[in-house]
A = this chain, B = another copy of it.
Amino acid sequence: MGKQSYAIVEGGGVTTPRGFKAGGLHCGLKKTERHDLGVIACEAPAAAAAVYTTNLFQAAPLLITREALAKGGVLRAVVVNSGNANACTGEQGESDAREMQANAAEALGVSKDEVAVASTGVIGELLKMDRVNAGIAKLPGRLRSDEQGSDDFCQAILTTDLVKKTSCVELTVDGKPVRIGGAAKGSGMIHPNMATMLGFVTTDAKIGATLLQEVLREVTNVSFNMITVDGDTSTNDMLVAMASGLADHRELTRQHPDFPAFADGLRHVCTELAKAIARDGEGATKLIETTVSGADSDDAAQAIAKTIIGSSLVKSAVYGADANWGRIIAAVGRAGVPVNVATVDIRLGDIVVLEQSRPVSFDEEQALEYLKGDTVAIHVDLHMGSGKATAWGCDLTYDYVRINAAYRT
């Protein structure tokens, strides 16, 4: 990816790219007075793309959004509720998601096929549609194009997340400024029956829906798909991207000289959101970043990085600030890809703990200090080829167990 081809926009979010407004309000799905209904709207028809959970039990809003995008890859808005996932709710759930879509379209004065729907919250309960509908009617009055709009939207998609997650970059295409902004919620199936990850990306770049879909898929594979909180894939995961096209440049193609800058900026936004989700995992006290290099292929490196980051034993050791390389190499060995068992190096930050698969004596005090920090980097070099990958996760703590054991009892 070479030299950084974008600038970070501090405080930027989904309303930073031209053409986008956002907002949120409390309609009554959450028990407390927190926002639980949000919307992003685009003043132009936005080229749109989305990726969805691989879980076979996909919630109703995903079906509706998929249908909408199939009709031309154009969106004008996405409406989101938290507090109820509208998953495992059968035909009524599907009809409720359609009602959300139709009512939002009417309130915003757009076609219903231009509205995506997303939900997050409890599985298996029907939406209180009177509250949702009353909220949707008020949404147009809450739309703002400033940071407050982005903030309100971010609050509306949280469940038990502790912090809002936004990211924004600016780059140039044909010498014209282009922004990419994002918002996300996480992380893990945080609460019992609560659903995982929602991501929303806006940009004013001019790009067709087909290419946007391709690059979104590529970027997702190295960002959102490289985080693990607890290995559980939700029924509601969804990432939606909308491009207003209001930046005044020639339409992006793969051949456009500034396409790499756009892809790189999109990767940055998605990676920052993904890392924010991992760091804010249930009960997490640390972000763990695992980099695998020297693998046979990028795919092999990804498999190993994700196995390490998903290991309960590695996660517990990091929580305990234990420089436990035995667990890391055991995870490497069970990742399901070929590994040369004699040539593995492992570093924790800059501290070498294993070289050519043999233990290296290291300063335990120094390792303890490093592992007590709020970000822990695990580096594995296989010395086999040029494949590499990075994955992100969090430590496994008492609070994870508390949060997930003590919900309903």
Contact = CB atoms under 8 A, between A and B. Distances in A.
Question: What is the count of identical protomers in the complex?
Answer: 2
A404 interface: yes
Contacts of A189: 313, 327, 330
Given A55-B333, A331-B232, A359-B88, A401 B322 contact: no
Contacts of A396: 312, 401, 404-405
Which of A193, A230, A321, A405 has the largest count of B CB atoms less than 10 A from its CB? Answer: A405
A400 interface: yes
A88 B401 contact: no
Interface string A382-409: 0000000000000011101110111111
Contact of A234 (B54, B323, B330): B330
Contacts of A341: 56-58
A365 to B, nearest CB: 11
A317 B57 contact: no
Categorize the interface residue count of chain A.
35 or more
Interface string A41-59: 0000000000000111110
B405 A316 contact: yes
Looking at chain A's contact residues, is the secondary structure mostly helix, strand, loop, or mixed? Answer: loop
A325 B311 CA distance: 24
20 contacts: A57-B330, A90-B358, A124-B325, A124-B359, A125-B359, A192-B313, A192-B326, A193-B324, A193-B327, A232-B327, A233-B333, A233-B334, A320-B404, A320-B405, A320-B409, A322-B408, A322-B409, A323-B408, A364-B408, A398-B398
Interface of A: 54-58, 87-88, 90, 122-125, 188-189, 192-193, 230-235, 310-313, 316-317, 319-327, 329-334, 338-339, 341, 354, 357-359, 364, 368, 396-398, 400-402, 404-409
